[in-house]
Chain A
């Protein structure tokens, strides 16, 4: 069974948005849309679920805060509570204002870096990764919608030609 898909190519983001809405209304399953730049509202039009990256970042931030707190408490209070310039090292709260800059930076550091790494992993991005451009023009000035074909090739081709596509291709995907 060959795995055939349609590549409908557009050269304007407004036409693309209309085409996406029409395709969704006609209940054709959109596999992927490739654009050279972020098209505002495209995710909503495609019906993609909202990202949970911000929730991850919040949790990572809490981890960073805990780490910073634990680290300063262990080093400065538990392990070797020296008198450094008269700073009170009897308990964590006594000397806490001095630790706040570190706690803050750890929070930001963890939240930012772990969120970025999460993003890379979820979007499968890494150095030497093979690029997945279906058509080189999609990084420059063309927009491409990929739709799976299920024995309805003729119908799909005429459908996409009606949506203002500048080019409609049927491709065998391996």
Chain B
């Protein structure tokens, strides 16, 4: 049995407290009206707010002077909306990142079940511990989506009837992008995923006490069904929660791209938690071969993410169709460092460091690579969400760091609390003996 070290518990509480304070600070200091924005812009004289004009088409033909004034006001309103969105977006990125990270772990777990992998059963309880964050994260995330629908923020501009009325492109998508349908979809997806997690863990524990393999077989079946359900819902989820932030843009491989991003984060988190528990002496049956296998997955799926990142980017860059290229124009011009930095962190670094067989077994190298991969995929989600919500007003400041800190603290608390509930080694999984003696 694992006991939650009091140091780690305190650490998670500190992270949550610091995060909450920072999140509160972010909301309190967000500008309330365009007078505030004017002051901010004046203080920020070198301000780099020169993005393309806003999409509202309400400009009336008036005299030149009035027009300049109107344009100035329009600009201020535009920046105001971005700055109002900033603390919300920061919260959203961190919230969806940690929730999907535990989803990535859940998918990896389901795949291991269905593939009847002989190496991973000793890690099943670690994976179940990580996915314990899923119900908590889902509730927070769902509340966040409801708040979006109640117009507490402007992250999803298609939720604003005023915008839809003046935007034919969005109006044409209203059959899909409307609040009731959207929130019901979200509820179904989250319920489906959480139901799988709940029953899979329950069966796994029941299998420990049973005297035949019926619960194992049950888990096999529900895992296979979950994977089918997941791949459909994952695709729709990526359109609903991420792509609809830019409702004028679409990409067909977006779902896979988002999947690769949180799948590799989930696998990396399994490796990180495993290495931590191992270093505390809790996983006696886990050897360097298990770690090596996880590192291979981190390496391979990092490359897979890059493949999708590049395929999406290169196809749009090559054809250069105006409707689609704006997505990348914003990212390259306004988010240059995060956009290309994500490729360095998620591809170049892990590929060069994890290509070596010996390195994949060295704890500190693996932890370093894991931290870079996790940060890199946070930046990846940042790149997907921020340009559509805060545009040129982005910054990784107090709001962003505090949001990550809060959700990281919550994640650590929930995951390690869940790990204390049950033994870390499944008792009668049919592959547990093979897994204990796994050697590569």
Contact = CB atoms under 8 A, between A and B. Distances in A.
A39 interface: no
A40 to B, nearest CB: 10
A86 B318 contact: no
B310 interface: yes
A97 B318 contact: yes
Contacts of B313: 97
Contacts of B355: 58
A51 to B, nearest CB: 11
Contacts of B310: 97, 100
Interface in B323-355: 355
A93 to B, nearest CB: 11
A97 to B, nearest CB: 5
A97 B314 contact: yes
Which of A54, A58, A97, A100 has its CB near the most chain B CB atoms (within 10 A)?
A97
A96 to B, nearest CB: 10
A69 B355 CA distance: 22
A141 to B, nearest CB: 27
Interface in A96-110: 97-98, 100
A54 B357 CA distance: 10
Contacts of B317: 97
A54 B310 CA distance: 26
Interface in B147-187: none
B320 A98 contact: no
Interface in B302-322: 310, 313-314, 317-318, 320
Nearest to A54: B357
A86 B320 CA distance: 10
Interface string A74-100: 000000000000100000000001101
A58 B356 CA distance: 10
A97 B313 CA distance: 9
B309 to A, nearest CB: 11
A14 B401 CA distance: 58
A86 B314 CA distance: 15
Interface in B99-153: none
A58 B318 CA distance: 30
B439 to A, nearest CB: 10
B300 to A, nearest CB: 15
Contacts of A98: 314, 318
B342 to A, nearest CB: 16
A98 B320 CA distance: 12
Contacts of B357: 54
Contacts of B314: 97-98, 100
Interface in B350-376: 355, 357
Contacts of A100: 310, 314
B424 to A, nearest CB: 30
Nearest to A98: B318
B267 to A, nearest CB: 23
Contacts of B318: 97-98
B344 to A, nearest CB: 15
Nearest to B357: A54
Interface in A25-78: 54, 58
Nearest to B314: A97
Interface string A114-155: 000000000000000000000000000000000000000000
A86 B325 CA distance: 15
A115 B199 CA distance: 49
A88 B310 CA distance: 18
Interface string B202-223: 0000000000000000000000
A158 B202 CA distance: 61
A100 B313 CA distance: 12
Interface in A1-31: none
Contacts of A54: 357
Contacts of A97: 310, 313-314, 317-318
A54 B320 CA distance: 40
A84 B357 CA distance: 44
Interface string B222-236: 000000000000000
Interface in B275-313: 310, 313
A60 to B, nearest CB: 14
Nearest to B352: A58
A97 B314 CA distance: 6
A103 B310 CA distance: 13
Contacts of B320: 86
A115 B313 CA distance: 32
Interface string B1-31: 0000000000000000000000000000000
B363 to A, nearest CB: 21
A101 to B, nearest CB: 8
Closest 10 CB pairs of A and B: A97-B314, A97-B317, A98-B318, A100-B310, A100-B314, A97-B318, A97-B313, A58-B355, A86-B320, A97-B310
12 contacts: A54-B357, A58-B355, A86-B320, A97-B310, A97-B313, A97-B314, A97-B317, A97-B318, A98-B314, A98-B318, A100-B310, A100-B314
Given A97-B318, A98-B318, A100-B310, 5 more contacts: A58-B355, A97-B313, A97-B314, A97-B317, A100-B314
